[in-house]
């Protein structure tokens, strides 16, 4: 009775299959990367190499695809974003996969995005960084230094007082907040950067869609809150007392840092908060809000005529 091996050899097409197998084997074993790997294991037997040929073929094919990388989104590898590596264990070949640099970069960026949330903030602000600041003149040194010191303190798990950047429109207050948020994200610290006027309008609509409490909880508890363009919102008693006041009171009690940008200094901001939709002034309530802001942040004026990103 013929053996299975002998029976297979007599099957139609076997000779053609054997030729193709031998051709692929030659190509794989002549691959410079495969030859370099095998040269490090001179005691590896021919039988082990033959047995591990499919792994060598997989390694050769996927490494070639990596050398002609079309980008992460179009990665043709068996596992997109992963590169193959060979090793020898107990005189047997094995293959494993590790994330390539593009995959690691993509995951890193996604982790930063998860740590740095935002509402109604332009894309270029979300890509801001201290290294890209181009107009570091005397009008900006204090603000940049304060921002970097803030990041350094939080990174060292030290308590850090918030910052209140103020100055006229277009000097780069929002960009600096973005640079701080990105620097914090790089160090694993979550923040939330919002354009205050737009977000407060959304908060009003969230009363009807059931997301109000969820958003309030986020603003109250996020490790670092950044309120951009404070004072430009349409001030109402509800906004002042039920939104801004409640958030700042909670953050003050929990010692959670809050950063701000505004066109107003403290004096004008207090005046803004004092206006009542019912007419007249509510100075006591405005002072109460300002006490929380003063307690939570150091005011820093940003002067100059050019934006930080003017030359980007």
Q: Residue 132 pLDDT > 80, yes or no?
A: no
In this prediction, residue 267 carries a pLDDT of 92
Q: Residue 303 pLDDT > 90, yes or no?
A: no
Element (H, E) at 299: strand 297-301
Distances in Å between the Cα of 182 and the Cα atoms of 132, 177, 201, 272 are 12, 9, 26, 30
Q: What whole-number distance in Å separates Cα of residue 288 and Cα of residue 309?
A: 35
In this prediction, residue 8 carries a pLDDT of 46
In this prediction, residue 108 carries a pLDDT of 58
Distances in Å between the Cα of 37 and the Cα atoms of 44, 118, 237 are 11, 48, 73
Q: What whole-number distance in Å separates Cα of residue 89 and Cα of residue 52?
A: 12
- Sequence spans of domains, the chain: 4-99, 106-301
Report if pTM > 0.85.
no
Mean pLDDT in residue range 245-265: 93
Q: How far apart are the first and last CA of the chain?
A: 81
Q: What whole-number distance in Å separates Cα of residue 34 and Cα of residue 57?
A: 9
Average of per-residue pLDDT values in the chain: 83
Q: What whole-number distance in Å separates Cα of residue 202 and Cα of residue 180?
A: 25
pLDDT tens-digit readout, 35-69: 999 899 988 888 888 888 888 888 988 898 888 98
Helices (H) and strands (E) in the chain, counts: 15, 8
Which phi-psi region, left, alpha or beta, contains residue 279 (left: φ > 0; alpha: ψ -120 to 50)? Answer: left
pLDDT tens-digit readout, 92-117: 999 989 988 878 766 655 554 454 46
Query: Which CATH topology does 106-301 take?
Result: Rossmann fold (3.40.50)
Residue 252 in tokens? 């003050």
Count, residues in the chain: 312
135 pLDDT band, cuts 50/70/90, is low
- Higher-confidence position of 312 and 285: 285
């Amino acid at each position: 009775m013929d053996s299975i091996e002998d029976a297979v050899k007599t099957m139609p097409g076997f000779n053609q299959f054997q030729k193709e197998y031998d051709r692929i084997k030659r190509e794989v074993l002549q691959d410079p990367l495969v030859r370099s790997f095998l040269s490090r294991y001179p005691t590896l037997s021919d039988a082990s190499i033959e047995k591990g040929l499919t792994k060598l073929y997989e390694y050769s094919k996927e490494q070639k695809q990596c050398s002609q990388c079309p980008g992460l989104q179009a990665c043709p590898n068996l596992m997109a974003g992963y590169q193959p590596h060979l090793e020898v264990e107990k005189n047997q070949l094995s293959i494993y996969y590790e994330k390539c640099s593009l995959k690691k970069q993509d995951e890193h960026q996604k982790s930063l995005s998860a740590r740095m949330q935002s509402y109604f903030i332009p894309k270029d602000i979300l890509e801001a960084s201290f290294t890209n600041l181009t107009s570091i003149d005397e009008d900006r040194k204090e603000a940049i230094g304060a921002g970097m010191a803030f990041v350094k303190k939080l990174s060292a798990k030290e308590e850090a007082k918030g910052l209140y950047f103020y100055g006229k429109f277009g000097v780069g207050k929002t960009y600096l907040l973005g640079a701080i948020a990105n620097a914090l994200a790089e160090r694993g610290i979550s923040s939330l950067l919002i354009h205050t006027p737009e977000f407060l309008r959304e908060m009003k609509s969230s009363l009807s869609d059931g997301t109000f409490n969820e958003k309030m909880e986020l603003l109250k508890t996020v490790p670092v809150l950044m309120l951009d363009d404070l004072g430009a919102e349409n001030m109402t008693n509800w906004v002042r007392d039920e939104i801004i006041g409640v958030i700042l009171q909670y953050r003050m009690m929990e010692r959670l840092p809050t950063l701000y940008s505004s066109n107003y200094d403290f004096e004008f901001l207090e005046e803004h908060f004092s206006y009542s939709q019912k007419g007249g002034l509510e100075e006591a309530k405005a002072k109460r809000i300002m006490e929380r802001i003063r307690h939570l942040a150091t005011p820093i004026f940003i002067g100059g005529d050019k934006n930080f990103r003017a030359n980007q």
